[in-house]
Structure 1
Amino acid sequence: MTETNETPHPADALGGRLSLPQYPRSSRYDARWTIENQMGPHALWLLEWLAPALRLEGLSPDARVLDLGCGRAMTSVFLAREYGVQVTAADLWVKPDENAVRLAEAGVAGQVLPVHAEAHDLPFGEGSFDAIVSVDAYQYFGTDDLYLPSLTRLLRPGGRIGVVVPALREEIDGAEPPEHLKPFWEPAYWCFHSAGWWRRHWTRSGAVEVETADWLTDGWREWLLWCEVVAGHSTDQWHVEMAGRCAEMLRADQGRTLGFARVVGRRV
């Protein structure tokens, strides 16, 4: 992985296109590395947006963080390098030995432990972590009314959980998506909810005190930019096709419906 301490030079057209002023830390990472290891929206941008609400800067170097649904461990690398914490990189679909190679190449093998785990069967003891992070994954399992209490038992008392998920600006009434989204809509998208829905969902659980539940202003534009870049530069044809279709959907929507929400709660 290539990383510098400065924003990519303007001559690097790809790096420059992905260097957004609101994400200075993410801009230090090689654009091609992020493209080839992505599994959806730009995970580093989303994690950098989450970080202040989750108070990652305040964690000590020996703090233990669970990166739940880490994918190809880009977010785990980011957590270790940017915040100096000890990370458990848990994912169901990417094998630990595959992530171990990436972690070693990034120079964080001593800080990040890759594990194979399913979200409903996590092999950790109560109070194992100071914080839990999940970027573009929690929506697939966290809508279950009973899930959050089972997950937050892994936090020490007062520890925080923070997630960023694809979201709806407002909840959709009825059983059909908006007309302009029907050509793109898949049944799995019904796991997308508004920030207000997530606040209510977490509050009702009794497991956390919700500290943040908000919407990423212009998140759809950032998502569209990323999809366009992936569609134009990924070496994986499946990712090219998926990103192209996602870009088409976001252009049709123009931010009326889709974007991102972040939610942060403190274990009570």
Structure 2
Amino acid sequence: MQWMQRAEYPLSSKYDPEWVLANDMGPHPLWLLEDLARDLDLRPGMRVLDLGSGKGVTSVFLAKEYGAQVWAADLWIDPTDAAANFTGLDITALKAEAHALPFAREFFDAIVCIDAYEYFGTADNYLAYLTSFLRPGGQLGVATPALRREIRELGHIPEHIKKLVGWEAIAWHTADWWRFHWEITELVEVTSARLQETGWQDWLTWSRAVSEHRGTTDDSLAMLEQDQGEYLTFALLTARKPGGS
């Protein structure tokens, strides 16, 4: 799997592709996190919430590459199963719903969410809830599926996207939409909001790898091949809570 050794993602290239594939739950989580982290300031000893952590691949990356203390929170994966990946690392696995997080206010230095925020984060009042768990000066980082144009602007959901995800695509917003959605609240200072230039190609490459690994066609493959990068990518978003030093 030489194609996994990507010059753009030197940290991700250190991880066994078979391990990442075995823990697959969507687009390559480490490529997304490594790109997102370029816009964050992650340091050893930080308390980091990995929200929607899945099987914990991103949590392992945060602990190993940045020396973070990580809380890996997911609704669907049994914490015991996820914890099997965490041996020797400062990671706490727990089951948690995104609207009922069991943490003290201002507990975290950073909150990271990779390929999950679209399921719960578009509500107007969610940012206020989530940032209540960030200390003043704390950071928020999100990587979420995006379209290059808003569905409202298009007037419809492109058929090849609708065929796979239906109405859920209305949560796949542009980076500009997210910037406004966050900035207007004055709850955070948006430090970066960009579309991932290689997002579609990375997603397609990974979908093909998953298909080969499983010996079946990945659900997203037809959608991505049909799209040809016209609409699909990822939005990478970072912000800082006002205050702090």
Alignment gaps of 5+ in structure 2: none
Give the whole-Å Cα distance in 2 for the aligned partners of 1:184 and 1:121.
29
Number of residues paired by the alignment?
A: 241
Counterparts of 1:174 and 1:256 in 2: how far apart (Å)? 13
User: For the residues of structure 2 that align with 1:178 and 1:138, how far apart are their CA atoms?
Assistant: 21
- 1:79 equivalent to 2:62? Answer yes
| Partner secondary structure for residue 136 of structure 2 | strand
Q: Which SS does the other structure have where 1:102 is aligned? A: coil
Distance 1:181 1:118 in 2: 27
Partner residue in 2 for 1:214 = 194
Letter in 2 for 1:259: T
Q: How is 1:78-227 mapped onto 2 (pairs within 5 angstroms)?
A: 78-104=61-87, 107-108=88-89, 111-172=90-151, 173=153, 175-227=155-207
- Structure 1, unmatched stretches of 5+, are 1-13
1:95-151: CA deviations, max 9, x gaps?
1111111212xx31xx00001100000010111000000000011100000000111
**TM-score, normalised by the number of residues in structure 1:** 0.86
Q: Which residue of 2 aligns with 1:259?
A: 233
**Contact preservation (8 Å) 2:142, 2:238:** yes
Q: Which amino acid aligns with 2:132?
A: R
The Cα offsets for residues 11-40 of structure 1, whole Å up to 9 and x where unpaired, read as xxx2x1111110011011000000010100
**TM-score, length-normalised on structure 2?**
0.94
Q: Percent identity at matched positions?
A: 48
Q: Over aligned residues, Cα RMSD in angstroms?
A: 1.4
Conservation of the 8 A alpha-carbon contact between 2:162 and 2:169: no
- Is residue 157–residue 169 contact of structure 2 (8 Å, CA) maintained in 1? no
Give SS of 1:77's match.
helix
Give 1:213 deviation, angstroms.
0.3
Q: Is the 8 A contact 1:218 1:255 kept in 2?
A: no
Amino acid aligned to 2:63: A
> In 2, are the aligned partners of 1:227 and 1:246 still within 8 Å (CA)?
yes
